[in-house]
Amino acid sequence: MSSATPGSSRVLSIVLDVVFVMAFVLIGRSSHSEGFSIVGTLNTAWPFLAGLLVGWLMMRAWTSPRRVVWTGVGIWLSTVVVGLVLRAVSGQGVQLSFAIVTAVVLAIFLLGWRGVSAVMARRRSGAGASA
């Protein structure tokens, strides 16, 4: 990410997080044959997007948005915990199996892209050092 400005890195990071949370929501709705509707999708998504926002604020993610530890882990945990709590209090239901799938899929999505980014950055810096 050496060619990107810090601001563009922050914007890209939050966009990626939102895209992956929305992908989780759309995959889940599709797997339950709920189909696509804007209202239904937003109703499913808002608790997790709120959890994502809490995570970004709590971790001050704008200071190092691509770090897996602690930024990514904090964002992931907040997205899962806050999202599930908000789902429960809003009457959307939270079964244990759903909570487990939510935690695993969001870990893959929210930590995964950060891990890939870290590997790519190491490879770029290693390639630049040997040239």
The predicted model gives 2-11 an average pLDDT of 72
Confidence of residue 2 (pLDDT cuts 50, 70, 90): very low
Assigned domain for 22 exists: yes
- Residue 73's CB is within 10 A of a number of other CB atoms, namely 17
40: containing domain: 6-130
Assigned domain for 46 exists: yes
pLDDT digits (tens, 9 = 90+) for 39-75: 999 999 999 999 999 999 999 999 999 999 999 999 9
In order of 71, 82, 98, 106, 117, the CA distances from 75 in angstroms are 6, 10, 19, 10, 16
29 has pLDDT over 70: yes
Confidence of residue 129 (pLDDT cuts 50, 70, 90): low
Assigned domain for 10 exists: yes
Say how far apart CA 82 and CA 79 lie, in whole Å: 6
Assigned domain for 107 exists: yes
- Residue 89's CB is within 10 A of a number of other CB atoms, namely 10
Assigned domain for 1 exists: no
Assigned domain for 62 exists: yes
| Residue 3: predicted pLDDT | 46
- Residue 98's CB is within 10 A of a number of other CB atoms, namely 15
AA identity, residue 83? G
Assigned domain for 125 exists: yes
Assigned domain for 121 exists: yes
Number of structural domains, the chain? 1
35 has pLDDT over 80: no
